[in-house]
Structure 1
């Protein structure tokens, strides 16, 4: 504030800060979080020549951080000053810093901890008859109980040398700002584990144990006589150890000794794992880290990193350890030259071990397809526009597939259909299924991402029902959710797909696409073919800013190379229930189509917003019953016999969700074609992709999540979360064939031995069950090959996040690499 002419200038008086304030400020610089406190305590234990260090943590170290070792202990006469600042047994003069070989030297670790926590120390030396215990606060010994003496008290202790800091109770109890700045106990505990892991690996021969409160087994448990590799295997697993290379170098010019375990060129991780020790002190060196990453950049795929443990030993006089309050960083002489020597040593070691490479796990992406360039050159030669001869095309550069080619499989129809899920009926009755063929759009032309003509809403086909034995749906019956939804479908019959235009083969007459009658007496309110075609002709133009923003976000996140791969891929085959092989250009890729299908349906929900067709359920499905099934499954996952008493009952929650969705039924119908009646029944689901229907086993979870996970408070988050829940619901998931008689026997307490074993009739039952499952799997694979992957060619925008997810797009082979191996065969 500026002083006015009438006011005299007051010169503030300089005062000496109170010692408690000074100490608390210093403690905040040294102890940032529980992991820093533990690091100081571990280093004290190692300085005491401990061979066993045990760590116990509660609430991420915020409530309790305890460390126990078998070191030489603290003398009883030193207990009174052990937590005072600048008290140490290692440093005597400033000149000792040039030859410092211990971790501690300032005498501030225990003092800093005692200023931000309640500390209790119990220690016993080898020549003492008993242990002594004392409590500390603000660096001073305090009475254990109010009114008691402020003196160390004798107590029982283990034989030998032992120190226990059952301290750091209520860490930062007197610094509320710092306490609020700390993250969750889980994250703080992970940081503690990282500290213990580093020191356990480097200090091979010292047994480390780390356990959190409430756990019977330790998260870290290394043997006392284990080697460095043994500890790495114990902490990181054999997959890391099997790919490590030993690097040992001695540089007399710099008085430097290097010992490291580095990963070879066949191994990589998503995040750089770098364990660096300089003179046995865990530190971080940005220059060394960056240089090592630059060396590995020539060997590893993009966005992948190595695993490196490195120990540097140099003359203490060449290292300045007193440059950071937490000792996290050090400075050393000849830093640039030493970093260069380290990189050269790693380069030589990787070169020596680079005799063979494994490319099966690398997510390398090829360059743009060269097929069009080759075709353009051929056409130019035929037309005589160029007199120059085309460049020689080697065999290993030839692309022998055409992504535009179609196969006969796309025109065939599998025996089973998701509109009529298979299951084994009771009393060994055969299920008669009359399935209409689905019209599969396999257009391979180029489309605009969000403006392409889509005919999901103008195709109407019918699927006839099937006759099965029915069974009432009981809310109190046991069994898995799969069994319940199967019984639900048995009770409520089948459902018909409502499209706009297509020729239904089978029961429907030629040229007539009316409603396929159901065995129930209910009438369907599905739109007639003419109305559906009229609606399709008048496609709704979406002008909502929120939807346009969501579409634009999808475009901005596009990965151009992945997009080229999917637009011009050739489908090879399905491997299992979530992986398939495709080829693009000269590379073969392993694809996780379950993850891709979720992203595809999310984009389709945004693209065809307010323009979906219908899949009409006949009869309709009760939301209360389905949500109750999902809640029952939640209870089983929690491992509880009954629903938790502190929560509302399942019936109340199910009714609340149903009322919640009924209130918003008009919006759901208008924008997403999710039709819900006033009495809480699902009448229809959206037809997002022509020829594709979701797995109804996921319908209970979808309704439960639609009512509980969607953000209904704002327009954009609401549309985004509904689209994402629809994408999860519609993502590929094969149906299981359920033996209903066996499931019923389980629920009635009859056990499972009466299901598929014993008599010949039961053996036939097992064979029929296996046959039905094989048919269902065959249809599922047919749908993936002829519906899902063609859709991935048409306007799908792969996001950049797919590259970061392991196993979604993996290159498993390349023609050039294969020719290096097989061209002489």
Structure 2
């Protein structure tokens, strides 16, 4: 049985004997032809910009300003100060094959300009909205014209399409808007705007290097600062340093090559040539070219090449190759492969160089009309010229020879300099003494050239003995703030010694399901990256003690952290870790609980409360007395039946809390702790205990500070006391609390919201300063 689909397909198909009717041939509409041609010239915004830059340079511009929006799709504007365009030429400016560069076909043989076919503006006008504002030096005003599909079009509906007078400077401003608006297939193929903008910057960068005497500027529309800016009248070496960084510029070599330049035949024999070799070596070492019949033909073609290339010290992951032939940016895989072959035996495997090659040839030997976008050109004697340039590069590298390595000793000391007669900043020729001993015994060694080079911006300080912020103000190790008198440590010693090793704090055995859930919540909230930063950080210094800000370094990044928030979270987790098994801090003599609460309540503003201060004190006192058995069993907070505070929980060995905050801590236990539910009770009590342990100026230091401000003439002693308290607190933060955080803190993601902020990254700083 045949399916209906199969049957219908058989009925619709012609029989073998019937020949199909030929389709008629029609002439394509002119607009369709132009749009197809435009697609060959304008592939993406970067290719349109390349054509416009070449027009600016042909006009003799010394300043070129570029603005981009949405990667060039919404807006691409380029302004130059060149010779401008005459008003009489504006009607045919965007028509195909209209140019001022050619008049006869023979002119192609002597072409020295960028554009010649007259298709760039025409192609752009067929796939975008094109506007031109131009003024010659003889014109009294500028002229503005809009174009659509190669013809003048009115700027606004109902207006005439003729050019309109307007204000403007000498030169030309070309604005391209809504690129590819009428070619949805091409528009959908364009990737995100960031990638297109990067391609645009790459094109502008390459032309800025080759035209070092022209000032280039490229920025996004609406931005105040350009992403690329070069001054006029700079050298090629300066342009490379500004655009590609000091890392390339410091290892840059320069040569000029011409047919008369001598070439060593020994160097030719050493290098493996990947291309076909038409070059024969005679016995006397002179170079000649041979034709297909084997007859010697003299190479009389005049040409000149200037090459900037990096030495053996520089290597990147990808080859950066800038090739300009007769000032035209082109691509040549053959020349690129030949130069990469030179570096095969010089750089480590996988490493690539930076090469800028400007080749000037006789225009009669160059065919520039072999590619729609002029991306490729063909020229005579390409193999021999490539061979000569590659040999000269190899000879220069061989003469430079040695690789130089840098090493860093101290962050504050910069790069160590060798003790030699010659001056060299931060560089020293290194030789491994073990390798010397191996060579003396005839053993093969691995040279230091095989070691991976670490760039300066990726070097990391690894010694915690390096200077911190506080080390620049030498002081003795301060004593602890708060009086030690009347305090005894029951299970752990508290002392201000330079020994910063953190004693091990084991997790208590607790079978309460509430505590198990709280501990599990802490583990699940862990942020992996933040934990790595705290685990491997280097403490830099306390920035602001009042605002609780400190600096820490991890790898090549610098972080500003709110140490108060981190320390409070640390003590909360330490309290949860030791729940039911705290060490005790005995108070002798034991202060009365009611009196401590009264001190804190007196300092509070209770006008909005319906209770008097005495009633508030009685209420908090009754709450704590009624729950003193639970407080002692779970938290080691001992309160006698007479209302005396006998001991406090000790969360961290070698760290004593600021007892000036004890009245505030006891007062807050009344209203801030949820005494009605078990989970909330434990959680809120541990948070109050962590707040009590977090370092801070406390009431005593605040009172001393206010006293010194009220009476500056008699505040010397108070200022000394405040300074001692602050110095002691800084010492505790650096030597006790940050090491404890490294070991015990499980940082939650919530700290990233505002308490840990990256403020600097060394590679980013290098990129900023290399452009200065």
From the superposition, tell whether residues 781 and 110 of structure 1 become closer, same or farther in structure 2 (CA, over 3 Å).
same
Q: Residue 250 of structure 1 aligns with which residue?
A: 258
Are the structure 2 counterparts of residues 424 and 279 from structure 1 closer, same or farther at C-alpha, using a change threshold of 3 Å?
Answer: farther
CA distance in 2, matches of 1:249, 1:781: 63
Which of 717, 720, 740 aligns to 1:760? It is: 720
Corresponding residue of 1:589: none
Which position in structure 2 is the counterpart of 1:722? none
The reply to whether residue 488 of structure 1 matches residue 488 of structure 2 is no
Q: CA distance change for structure 1 residues 433 and 95 in 2, over 3 Å: closer, same or farther?
A: farther
Structure 2 residue corresponding to 1:263, chosen from 288, 299, 310: 310
- Cα distance between partner residues in 1 of 2:736 and 2:242: 43
Q: How far apart, in 1, do the equivalents of 2:157 and 2:53 lie?
A: 31
> Are the counterparts in 2 of residues 320 and 330 from structure 1 also a CA contact under 8 Å?
yes
CA distance in 2 between counterparts of 1:332 and 1:492 reads 75
Q: In the aligned structure 2, how far is the partner of 1:743 from the partner of 1:176? A: 70
Kindly indicate whether the alpha-carbon contact (under 8 Å) linking 1:426 and 1:741 is maintained by their aligned counterparts in 2: no
Confirm or deny: 8 A CA contact 1:274 1:307 kept in the other structure: yes
Tell me how far apart the structure 1 counterparts of residues 394 and 493 of structure 2 sit (CA, whole Å).
Answer: 66
Cα separation, 2, equivalents of 1:100 and 1:229? 28
Q: How does 1:436-451 map to 2 (within 5 A)?
A: 437=504
> How far did residue 521 of structure 1 move?
5.5
Structure 1 residue 436, shift from structure 2 partner:
5.0
Q: TM-score by structure 2 length?
A: 0.54
Which secondary structure state, in structure 2, belongs to the residue aligned with residue 74 of structure 1? coil
Per-residue Cα deviation, 1:226-282 (whole angstroms, up to 9, x for no partner):
111222222223332222111111115342211111111112223222111111011
CA distance in structure 2 between the partners assigned to 1:61 and 1:220 by the alignment: 16
Gaps of 5+ in 2: 1-11, 261-298, 409-426, 428-433, 447-477, 495-501, 507-546, 550-560, 585-629, 636-649, 652-677, 684-692, 745-761, 764-772
Q: Could you say if the C-alpha distance between residues 681 and 108 of structure 1 is closer, same or farther in structure 2, counting changes exceeding 3 Å? A: farther
- Note closer, same or farther for the CA distance 1:46–1:772 as it changes in structure 2 (3 Å cut): same
State the alpha-carbon separation in 1 of the partners of residues 194 and 735 from structure 2: 46
2:152 aligned to 141, 152, 163, which one?
A: 141
Decide which of 31, 38, 44 is 1:27's aligned counterpart: 38
CA-CA distance at 1:121 after TM superposition = 0.4
Q: Distance in 1 between matches of 2:22 and 2:681?
A: 76
1:96 to 94, 100, 107: 107
CA distance in 2, matches of 1:168, 1:279: 28
Q: Relative to structure 1, is the Cα distance of residues 257 and 149 closer, same or farther in structure 2, using a 3 angstrom cutoff?
A: same
Q: TM-score, normalised by structure 1?
A: 0.51
Query: Deviation per CA, 1:432-468, whole angstroms, max 9, x where unpaired?
Result: 67865599xxxxxxxxxxxxxxxxxxxxxxxxxxxxx
1:546 is matched with which residue? none
- Please give the alpha-carbon distance, in whole angstroms, between the structure 1 residues aligned to 2:729 and 2:28: 83
Aligned 8 A contact 1:56 1:67 in 2: yes
- Residue 298 of structure 1 corresponds to 345
Aligned to 2:244: 236
In 2: Cα distance, 1:744 partner to 1:59 partner: 59
Q: What are structure 1's unaligned runs of at least 5 residues?
A: 363-368, 375-390, 398-422, 440-476, 499-503, 508-517, 524-617, 620-676, 683-736, 785-805, 808-825
CA contact (8 A) 1:483 1:743 kept: no
> Which residue matches 1:71?
82
- Give the 3 Å change call, closer, same or farther, for CA 67–762 of structure 1 in structure 2: same
Greater mean deviation of Cα atoms: 199-208 or 425-434: 425-434
Quote the offset at 1:780 in angstroms. Answer: 8.5
Residue 284 (structure 1) aligned with residue 315 (structure 2): no
1:194 is aligned, of 199, 202, 208, to 202
Residues 1:193 and 1:426: Cα distance change in structure 2 (over 3 Å): farther
Alignment root-mean-square deviation, CA: 4.7
Cα deviation, 1:288-311, whole Å, max 9, x if unaligned, reads 222222222322223222111110
**Partner Cα separation in structure 2 for residue 176 and residue 678 of structure 1:** 61
- 63-72 or 292-301, which moves further after superposition? 292-301
SS at structure 1 position matched to 2:60: coil
- Residue in 2 that maps onto 1:47: 58
Matched residue count: 475
SS at 1:349 equivalent: helix
What is the match of residue 350 of structure 1? 397
Distance change (3 Å), C-alpha of 1:496 and 1:238 = same
Q: Which position in structure 2 is the counterpart of 1:153?
A: 164
Seen in structure 2, the aligned counterparts of structure 1 residues 392 and 196 have a Cα distance that, compared at 3 Å, is closer
Partners of 2:483 and 2:194 in 1: CA distance: 53
Please state whether the residue corresponding to 1:168 is helix, strand or coil.
strand
Query: 1: CA distance between counterparts of 2:105 and 2:148?
Result: 28
Say if 1:232 and 1:739 are closer, same or farther in 2 by CA, change over 3 A. Answer: farther
Larger relative contact order (CA 8 Å, sep ≥ 6): 1
Contact 2:35 2:123 in 1 (8 A): yes
- Are 2:375 and 1:328 equivalent residues in the alignment? yes
- Structure 1 segment 356-371 matched on structure 2, within 5 A: 357-358=404-405, 360=407
Q: Is the CA contact (8 Å cut-off) linking 1:91 and 1:105 kept in structure 2?
A: yes
Instruction: Decide which structure has the larger Cα Rg and report it.
Output: 2
